[in-house]
Structure 1
Amino acid sequence: MTQAPTDPTQAAPLITVDVWTDVVCPWCYIGESRLHDAIEAEGLTGQVHLRAHSFELDPTSPVTPDQDNIEHLVRAKGLDADQVRQMESQIKEMAAEIGREYVTDRPMANTRGVHRVMQALSEAKGADAATEFFMQLQRGYFTGALDPFDADVVVTRAVEAGLAEETARAAHEGRSHDDKVDAEVREAASMGARGVPFFLFNDKYTAPGALPMDAFRQALRQIADEARAERGESAGAGAKGTEGEQA
């Protein structure tokens, strides 16, 4: 995935992908991975700009991680624990198919603090820094490399990304940026999002869910052709959003 060019002499990316996501969303992790692979397969490396946006899967989750992901779904969805473990195993198999690690037993708690810090970072350092910060937390969560519910972990990553520690802690503790989180959730809902991941390509075409890689490739190909045509580089056609798995 690429970030927006900082050199004004560089061409703008052909495609901008806005994705509404939550750090604990397994389909978001799978979807971002498939999108990344589709970009490489289509030869679009360096020409796609990803921007992450806030979306909470379960705002009612407890602030402290007093449960794991299995217990959470049993309580929140009324599912049988064995059903949940089977679902996790199936997602792990999907991750393995695209060469990604996936830990099936994970802590679970409210993600609002992470989203507030992402918004604070976006405000201070821009969308690219905020997106990279968020994606690192999400990947670390699903690979078992870090705990996004540890305030010190989140703040440290934010500081490494360029945010002042005081600002990061204030956001994480709920003293700022709730309005920014709410605004992004409303924006997704206004476009019809009922779950995540939810993708918006070039401010025109939406795609709900973790699309299969072939669907991502087709969409990217069509949208890139359209963007080139608009720039006078070649003829092209538009792409339509395609249904995929939703959280």
Structure 2
Amino acid sequence: MTTSQDAPTDAAPLITVDVWTDVVCPWCYIGESRLQDAIEAEGLTGQVHVRAHSFELDPTSPVGGSQDNIEHLVRAKGMPAEQVREMEAQIKAMAEEIGREYTTERPMANTRGVHRVMQAIGATHGADAATAFFLELQRGYFTGALNPFEADVVLSRAVAAGLEEQVAREALEGGAHDEAVEAEVREAASMGARGVPFFLFNDKYTAPGALPTDAFRQALRQIAEEARAERGEAEQA
């Protein structure tokens, strides 16, 4: 799937969408997919700049754990395994409705290392490279194409994004860029975020959760009209 930041344009983007997200968050995967569909449906491809930001759903998850998503929710939330499987089946159906693959059983572990690597890429190569790296891992995770808890997988993607392998390894395995992750979590919390996905449009309007595609379309349409009007006034001034 092509993201809006993959389509370069000489003009500044009409809309900037900041999204706080976690690699293992199914609603983040669904929400980002719906957002991309809405961008395309509104004819805004190349005019919307999407930037991913760090937010950990469960900082207490074990590092390098061997549990899967079913076991994790059973242990962490006390949910019966059958209820978790039913929930996963419902999300799979939602994903299929928008033409996305979705695997219902996935590995689960602490995501802080992935966020640190994303921050390292952002610090060195900018938000677009960091966002592309993160979304590749998130999409691969939910389609079953890759395991973001395998160090070699994360390091190879980080190197492909332009990061030196040693720098990526230090971020993945050590404490480098921890403060940058925490700063983004605090920023989201300061705007009222209690979970993810959490969206910020043009530094003005916030939206929690995976909105329906039609809701994203309406928001993008209104914000685009406002942005065009503001640009027109600026040109006339």
Interval containing the TM-score (normalised by the shorter chain): over 0.9
AA partner of residue 170 (structure 1) = E
2:64 is the counterpart of 1:64: yes
Shift in Å at residue 66 of structure 1? 1.6
- Equivalent in the alignment of 2:159: 159
Cα pair 1:15 1:202 within 8 Å, conserved: yes
- Equivalent in the alignment of 1:3: 5
- 1:52 alignment partner, SS class: strand
Cα pair 1:22 1:54 within 8 Å, conserved: yes
AA partner of residue 149 (structure 1) = F
- Equivalent in the alignment of 1:23: 23
TM-score of the superposed pair, with normalisation by structure 1 = 0.92
Shift in Å at residue 175 of structure 1? 3.2
- 1:231 alignment partner, SS class: helix
Cα pair 1:4 1:12 within 8 Å, conserved: no
AA partner of residue 204 (structure 2) = K
2:44 is the counterpart of 1:44: yes
- Equivalent in the alignment of 2:186: 186
Alignment of 1:68-87 (within 5 A): 68-87=68-87
Structure 1 alignment gaps of length 5 or more: 234-247
Structure 2 alignment gaps of length 5 or more: none
Q: 1:91 to 1:49 in 2, by over 3 A?
A: same
Cα pair 2:114 2:172 within 8 Å, conserved: yes
- Equivalent in the alignment of 2:220: 220
Cα pair 2:21 2:196 within 8 Å, conserved: yes
- Equivalent in the alignment of 1:117: 117
- Equivalent in the alignment of 2:131: 131
Shift in Å at residue 6 of structure 1? 6.7
Shift in Å at residue 64 of structure 1? 1.2
Cα pair 2:7 2:46 within 8 Å, conserved: no
2:202 is the counterpart of 1:202: yes
Q: 1:82 to 1:6 in 2, by over 3 A?
A: closer
Per-residue Cα deviation, 1:43-78 (whole angstroms, up to 9, x for no partner): 001100000000000000000132000000001111
Q: Distance in 2 between matches of 1:189 and 1:45?
A: 30
AA partner of residue 209 (structure 2) = G
- Equivalent in the alignment of 1:96: 96
Q: Segments of 4+ in structure 1 off by > 3 A?
A: 4-7
- Equivalent in the alignment of 2:145: 145
Cα pair 2:116 2:172 within 8 Å, conserved: yes
Shift in Å at residue 5 of structure 1? 8.0
- 1:227 alignment partner, SS class: helix
- 2:52 alignment partner, SS class: strand
Paired positions, count: 231
- 2:217 alignment partner, SS class: helix
TM-score of the superposed pair, with normalisation by structure 2 = 0.95
Cα pair 1:21 1:197 within 8 Å, conserved: yes
Q: Distance in 1 between matches of 2:101 and 2:64?
A: 25
AA partner of residue 108 (structure 1) = M
Shift in Å at residue 103 of structure 1? 0.2
- 1:206 alignment partner, SS class: strand
Q: 1:206 to 1:156 in 2, by over 3 A?
A: same
AA partner of residue 4 (structure 2) = T
Q: Distance in 2 between matches of 1:24 and 1:3?
A: 22
Cα pair 1:15 1:47 within 8 Å, conserved: yes
Shift in Å at residue 174 of structure 1? 1.9
AA partner of residue 196 (structure 2) = V
